[in-house]
Amino acid sequence: MQYQAEIMALLYTSGDQGLELGIMAELLEISKSALRQSLDELKINLEADEQSGLIISQFDDIYKLVTKPQFGSLLNRYFKSGLSTTLSQAALEVLSIIAYKQPVTRVEIDEIRGVQSSGTLQTLIVRQLVKENGRKNVPGKPIIYATTEQFLDYFGLKTLKELPDISEFEDSELDKDGNLDLFYSKFEKLENNEENNG
């Protein structure tokens, strides 16, 4: 049971990116073999735990915390129910950054926002507004993200060319370097327009 809570905390925070075994071992300051043993125990415990909706998923040496497959239809009902129609401020920020900067990595998104975005990014992927669009040809080959056709439909756009021009943003929405301080504002207006027209 040792390290299982720490592992879950790390995997939850890393979101859809997951964490490589070696990086996790360094963060936890344990050997890879000890980490593998803890991961194997955690996988078994989560799969057997009827009170948990989460499991560990492994892709080569990358580990992720994901929902159990049997809850797929429940999650689809949630996203189709309208309960999740309005996007949070964080989701609008991440979505607008991806829309204007795509293709973009999670680290690049985090640098623009100044906060960690993996959970929000995962929500946007599940809602099919954002997709993985290959990997950037740099060390570590991070996943790059782009918007989807569902994104265009959600905001009532036909193409990305219909996005509000950056020059339309008010000076109050720009920081001292000319970057968007409230990047999400135009998307918030677009979303509200779609709700009013819907």
pLDDT digits (tens, 9 = 90+) for 148-189: 888 888 777 888 888 877 665 544 444 444 444 434 455 555
- The overall pTM is greater than 0.85: no
CA dist 85 and 7 (Å) reads 32
Per-residue pLDDT tens over the stretch 114-153 = 888 888 888 888 888 899 988 888 887 889 999 988 888 8
Question: For 30-47, what is the mean pLDDT?
Answer: 93
Q: Is 78 a domain residue?
A: no
Question: For 25-43, what is the mean pLDDT?
Answer: 93
* Domain match, 30 and 62 both: yes
* Domain match, 157 and 97 both: yes
Q: Does the pLDDT of residue 15 top 80, yes or no? A: no
* Dihedral angle, C-alpha 90, 58, 105, 99, nearest 10 °: -50
The CA distances from residue 104 to 22, 73, 99, 153, in Å, are: 25, 30, 9, 21
* Domain match, 127 and 173 both: yes
Q: Which of 18, 43, 70 is the last residue of a domain?
A: 70
Q: When comparing pLDDT for 55 and 82, which is higher?
A: 55
Question: For 54-72, what is the mean pLDDT?
Answer: 87
Q: Is 75 a domain residue?
A: no
Domain tally, the chain? 2
Side-by-side strand order, sheet with 62-67: 19-20, 62-67, 54-59
Helix (H/G/I), strand (E/B), else coil: 30: coil
Residue range of the domain that includes 149? 85-197
Q: Is 53 a domain residue?
A: yes
DSSP class of 67: E
